[in-house]
Amino acid sequence: MITNGTVLTMNPAREVIENGTVVVKDNKILAVGNADLAKKYTAEKQLDVDGDIVMPGLINTHTHVSMTVFRSLADDVPDRLHRYIFPLESALVSRDMVRIGANLGNVEMLKGGVTTYADMYYFEDEVAKTVDKIGMRAVLGETVIKYPVADAKNADEGIAYALNFIEEYKDHPRITPAFAPHGPYTNTTETLQKISELSLKLNVPVLMHLAESHREQEVIAERSGGKSPVQYMHDIGALNRNLVGAT
Ligand SMILES: [Zn+2]
Distance 123 CA to ligand 1 centre (A): 16
The model's pLDDT over 121-138, given as tens digits with 9 standing for 90+, comes to 999 999 999 999 999 999
Distance 198 CA to ligand 1 centre (A): 22
Distance 46 CA to ligand 1 centre (A): 40
**Cα–Cα distance between 18 and 33 in angstroms, integer?**
9
The H helix count followed by the E strand count for the chain is 8, 11
Q: How far apart are the first and last CA of the chain?
A: 40
The model's pLDDT over 147-191, given as tens digits with 9 standing for 90+, comes to 999 999 999 999 999 999 999 999 999 999 999 999 999 999 999
Q: Does 2-54 carry CATH code 2.30.40.10?
A: yes
Distance 135 CA to ligand 1 centre (A): 23
Distance 13 CA to ligand 1 centre (A): 34
Q: Does 58-246 carry CATH code 3.20.20.140?
A: yes
The model's pLDDT over 187-208, given as tens digits with 9 standing for 90+, comes to 999 999 999 999 999 999 999 9
Please state, in angstroms and as integers, the Cα–Cα distance from residue 18 to each residue in 25, 48, 50, 56, 122, following that order: 22, 13, 11, 16, 44
What are the structural domain ranges in the chain? 2-54, 58-246
Q: Is 164 helix (H, G, I), strand (E, B) or coil?
A: helix
Distance 209 CA to ligand 1 centre (A): 6
Distance 62 CA to ligand 1 centre (A): 6
Average pLDDT over residues 201-216: 95
Distance 64 CA to ligand 1 centre (A): 6
* Full-model pTM: 0.91
Phi, psi for residue 164 in degrees, rounded to 5: -60, -45
Reported in sequence order, the residue ranges of 113-197 that DSSP labels E, i.e. its strands, are: 114-121, 137-144, 175-181
Distance 134 CA to ligand 1 centre (A): 23
